[in-house]
Structure 1
Amino acid sequence: MQTFFKHLFSLVLFFGIEKNVLAQSGLTKKEQLAFDKREKQLKKQFEQASLNWPAKQLYIRSFKQDGQLEIWVRNTMTEPFTLFKTYNVCALSGKLGPKRREGDLQVPEGFYYINEFNPNSDYHFSLGINYPNQSDLYFTDSKAPGGEIYIHGKCATVGCIPILNNPIEELYVLANIVRKQGQDFIPVHIFPVRFTNENSFKVLQSHIAQNSIYQDFTNQLKEVFDYFEQYKQLPIVGINEKGVYKVISR
């Protein structure tokens, strides 16, 4: 039977049982220095927040208009995610709306995952996001959709998500730890606004008032946002043959 979905984001996260997160090989000198600096601090922060250490599953979501990036954690697939920390996004290029071509300075909007750990970034450390995904490819300029979208340090951007050097060190180490625990798929959801923030939502409404296509798109994003807000669990999201996000499993 032909499937309705060209692409499927399986938000099922697998994890192992390795306990000694620093007893690992393959780190660069710069990464090891960041681990030595940040691991104990993170452990203490988890203890203060009554969270189990080390985290085994990580979920990242960002809100463009609100200038925030949230870090959620949990240790089993059955328990809800718990908010660990919120970082400020220190700069934003472009405007509300998804990225549609190379050089448009837009930060993407949609559902992604970490696909690169870069300790040699020009922006201190960086975590790559798998833009363009299958939805983006349907709508973007096929010859030049753009790419190289990162969460990174410093405070400059041409379409990425900068959170300064100390926060990116923390997040980079934490993402590395859950990867060593077995989580190969770290989801990153990028929303135009925090839909529960009345002021931000008003800004979004002004953008979609004369743009029915963008209104439909933000409705797709809001469905996933609303589900997570209610249950603190991630639904499985598919992308149909017209690039539309669909929640297919709750």
Structure 2
Amino acid sequence: MKWASLGWILLGIILAVAIWRGFPPFQIRSNQFPGILSSSITPDPQHVKIEIFKAERKLILYQNEKPVGIFKIALGFSPIGDKEREGDGKTPEGDYAICYVNDKTPYLYFYGLNYPQGKDIKRGFKQGRISQRQYQELIDNNKNNGIPLWNTALGGEVGIHGGGNLWDWTKGCIALSDTDILILKKYLMIGTPVHIFP
């Protein structure tokens, strides 16, 4: 009897995790978040951009300037406002690009954004959050389109990844269901522009 109860508990936990992360067949689609808009679309990463609307928890995927997918997202645990510092739980706002890809992550895939960027760096320096040396390193790195310093008081390692989109739970990243990050994987590459609106 004990083993049967333990089995049901374990099964319940597995199902809860599957639903949270959005594994098929637990992928929820709606008119508002339909996913890819047509099954006949052939991914062309060279001509892709992303727009993220924080207030609507929506990611729109564009290819050749036309929307080809609309996905539900989760944000940082304190999503209102622009990211200013490490640990504030905010998702940054502005123009970024994918600068790093990690396929060895618990979130299936991680597409790192080049946060902090110009406005973030200048604001952080003005507020005294980063040193002159860090300011210069961040500015130089931006000019070379490299991975920014992610270990300053401004925070870093902000990206787009899987892991679940039922509520705002990240430290500042944009999270999708695992199913959706596997779809986006076909479209994204280093250099893909990402604009994040409030």
Match of 1:118 in 2: 102
CA distance in 2, matches of 1:105, 1:43: 29
Of all paired residues, the percent bearing the same amino acid is: 31
Alignment match, 2:185: 172
1:100 paired with 2:109, answer: no
Structure 1 residue 163 corresponds to structure 2 residue 176 = yes
Amino acid of the structure 1 residue aligned with 2:57: G
Deviation at 1:90, TM superposition (A): 3.4
Distance in structure 1 (CA, Å) of the matches to 2:86 and 2:74:
22
The CA deviation at 1:43 is 10
Is 1:69 equivalent to 2:56 in the alignment? no
> Structure 1 residues 137, 173: CA separation in 2 closer, same or farther (over 3 Å shift)?
same
Number of residue pairs aligned between Structure 1 and Structure 2:
134
Q: CA RMSD in A?
A: 2.2
**Matching residue of 2:159:** 150
How far apart are residue 95 of structure 1 and its match? Answer: 3.2
1:112 positional shift: 0.2
Aligned to 1:189: 195
Where 2:182 maps in the other structure, the secondary structure is helix
State the Cα distance separating 1:158 from its structure 2 match: 1.1
CA deviations 1:81-128 (Å, max 9, x no partner) are: 100001001354213211111111110001000001110112121111
The one-letter code of the counterpart of 1:67 is R
TM-score, normalised to structure 1's length? 0.50
SS at match of 1:138: helix
Q: Does the alignment pair 1:130 with 2:136?
A: no
Say which SS state the counterpart of residue 124 (structure 1) adopts: coil
Pick 1 or 2: higher relative contact order, CA cutoff 8 A, min separation 6. 2
Contact residue 119 and residue 126 of structure 1 kept, 8 A: yes
Report matched runs for 1:79-94 at 5 Å: 81-94=65-78
Say which SS state the counterpart of residue 117 (structure 1) adopts: strand
Where does 1:45-64 land on structure 2 (aligned, <5 Å)? 45-47=38-40, 51=41, 53-55=42-44, 56-64=46-54
> Is the alpha carbon distance of 1:43 and 1:157 closer, same or farther for their aligned partners in structure 2, counting shifts above 3 Å?
closer
- Mapped to 1, the partners of 2:81 and 2:186 lie a distance apart of 30
Q: Runs in 1 of length 4+ with deviation above 6 angstroms? A: none
Deviation at 1:46, TM superposition (A): 4.9
Contact 1:127 1:172 in 2 (8 A): no
User: Could you tell me how far 1:173 is from its partner in structure 2?
Assistant: 2.2
Q: Which moved more, 1:84-93 or 1:165-174?
A: 84-93
State the alpha-carbon separation in 1 of the partners of residues 87 and 68 from structure 2.
34
